[in-house]
């Protein structure tokens, strides 16, 4: 734990040093680009102005930083949720469900249909020639959270004992895999850390059955890390469902390129009434609803905060105009054009907003990789996922800050440029 903290600290220091170097270069480039438009107005004039009004400038910077922080954090939540679900799928697997089913919870596939799948072209086989597939039964059970003691829904997935051959990225990290025909469970690493009783050696009761936790698995940060797995045949018996009905089947393909061949053969078979998806496409689709919800809610919160940040920038820039009326008039009298003054003030506003954007992005960086959980409305179960902050999100945050800077700086800049020179020169 200490090693991780020291590593994070060193990375943060390196990032700050790199940022200072980048800021120096960026400000130099901006000054060079704007010089033909600002005329001979020295950029140092804008820096001195910011320093002279440091209190109002800090308020504006912090307002923009807070808005950018919320904006990036909410987008990283949506990005992390989607990444978690997409990671659950493999391009080398095909998911088969009853035709028209929107999710596994609504699916249904018979044992006879699974036998047809085993004989379909493109299905991978093990060394003994046995088709590699898992027939899944999905259910939801309430389990108390470790943190609060309140119940939360955990998805239980009944799988075939050879499921680790289908989902090769899943590894047992503690204990062992469950044995076929026994009331044994293996739990995802996030489920083990989040819910009471889901640790190796414990016994829990649900759905009228008594279960022994025999192992913990790591599913590589996918949604499976939030699930509990057991033998699908036993799970069907405990749920008192027909022994020959499952909710989905996941087939491991001989190669990702054989997917279309497999799908065509299965869908066109008159004995079958199923839909076939690439597993990775199915989970990407499952993430759509929650991703949109998080993005919309985050956008609304960021928009409300952005209004306040823009007013903060307006206040700062109007204050600068009011205090520098004679300076502006003198500049105009010396021959600086209206466009020179407007762009000079706009550059100042962009400088403030850029600093706010950078600070906001730095403030949310520690969230990257932090795990949280939410309800997946497709399965009605809790899914743990991590904030996923990427370079493009940080870039979007800085651009968002610059937009706020333009909105907050344009009107004061225009006011500074159009005020009568003679009136401004007579002001005390």
Half-sphere exposure of 310 (CA within 13 A, CB side): 15
Q: If DSSP codes are grouped into helix, strand and coil, which group holds residue 105? A: helix
CA distance 227 to 247: 16
Each of the 428 residues of the chain gets a pLDDT tens digit; together they read 444 444 544 555 555 555 555 554 555 555 555 555 444 455 566 666 667 667 777 878 888 888 888 888 888 888 888 888 878 888 899 999 988 888 887 778 888 999 999 999 999 998 888 999 999 998 888 888 888 888 888 889 999 989 999 999 999 999 999 999 899 999 999 999 988 989 999 998 877 778 999 999 999 888 899 999 999 988 888 888 877 889 899 999 999 999 999 999 999 998 888 899 999 888 888 877 777 777 787 778 777 877 777 777 667 666 666 666 666 666 666 666 666 667 777 777 788 888 888 888 888 888 888 887 776 666 666 787 888 888 888 888 888 888 887 777 777 667 666 666 655 555 54
Helix H or strand E segment including 236: helix 232-238
pTM, to two decimals: 0.73
Of 59, 80, 77, the closest CA to residue 299 belongs to 77
Q: Six-digit token pair at 41?
A: 């107005």
Eight-state DSSP code of residue 125 = B
191-214: string of b/e by CB count within 10 Å (b at 16+)? Answer: bbebbeebebeeebebeeeebebb
Angle among Cα 149, 152, 157 to the nearest 5 degrees reads: 130
């Amino acid at each position: 734990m200490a090693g991780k903290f020291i590593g994070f600290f060193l990375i943060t220091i390196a990032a700050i040093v790199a940022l200072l170097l980048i800021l120096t270069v960026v400000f130099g480039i901006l000054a060079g680009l704007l010089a033909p438009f600002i005329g001979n107005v020295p950029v140092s004039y804008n820096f001195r102005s910011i320093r002279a009004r440091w209190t109002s400038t800090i308020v504006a910077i912090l307002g923009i930083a807070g808005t950018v922080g919320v904006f990036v954090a909410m987008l990283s939540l949506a990005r992390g949720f989607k990444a978690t679900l997409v990671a659950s799928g493999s391009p080398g697997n095909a998911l088969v469900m009853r035709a028209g089913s929107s999710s596994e919870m609504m699916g249904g596939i018979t044992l006879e249909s699974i036998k047809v799948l085993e004989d379909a072209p493109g299905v991978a086989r093990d060394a003994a020639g046995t088709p590699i597939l898992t027939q899944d039964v999905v259910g939801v059970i309430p389990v108390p959270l470790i943190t609060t003691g309140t119940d939360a829904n955990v998805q239980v997935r009944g799988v075939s004992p050879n499921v680790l051959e289908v989902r090769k990225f899943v590894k047992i990290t503690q204990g062992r895999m469950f044995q076929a025909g026994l009331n044994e469970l293996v739990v995802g690493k996030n489920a083990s850390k989040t819910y009471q009783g889901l640790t190796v050696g414990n016994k829990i009761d649900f759905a009228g059955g008594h279960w022994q936790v025999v192992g913990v698995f790591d599913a590589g940060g996918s949604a499976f890390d939030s699930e509990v797995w057991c033998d699908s045949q036993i799970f069907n018996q405990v749920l008192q469902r027909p022994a020959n009905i499952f909710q989905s089947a996941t087939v491991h393909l001989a190669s990702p390129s054989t997917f279309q061949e497999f799908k065509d053969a299965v869908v066109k078979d008159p004995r079958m009434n199923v839909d076939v998806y690439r597993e990775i496409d199915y989970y990407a689709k499952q993430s759509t609803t929650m991703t949109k919800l998080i993005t919309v809610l985050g956008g609304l919160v960021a928009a409300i905060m952005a209004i306040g940040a823009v007013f903060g920038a307006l206040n700062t820039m109007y204050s600068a105009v009011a205090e520098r009326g004679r300076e502006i008039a003198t500049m105009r009298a010396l021959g600086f054009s209206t466009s020179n003054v407007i762009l000079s003030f706009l550059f100042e506003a962009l400088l403030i907003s850029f600093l706010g954007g950078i600070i906001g992005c730095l403030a949310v960086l520690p969230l990257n990789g932090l795990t949280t959980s939410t309800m997946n409305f497709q399965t009605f179960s809790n899914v743990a996922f991590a904030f996923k902050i990427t370079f493009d999100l940080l870039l979007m945050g800085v651009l968002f800050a610059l937009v706020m800077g333009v909105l907050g700086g344009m009107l004061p800049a225009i006011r500074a440029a159009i005020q009568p020179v003679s009136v401004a020169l007579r002001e005390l």
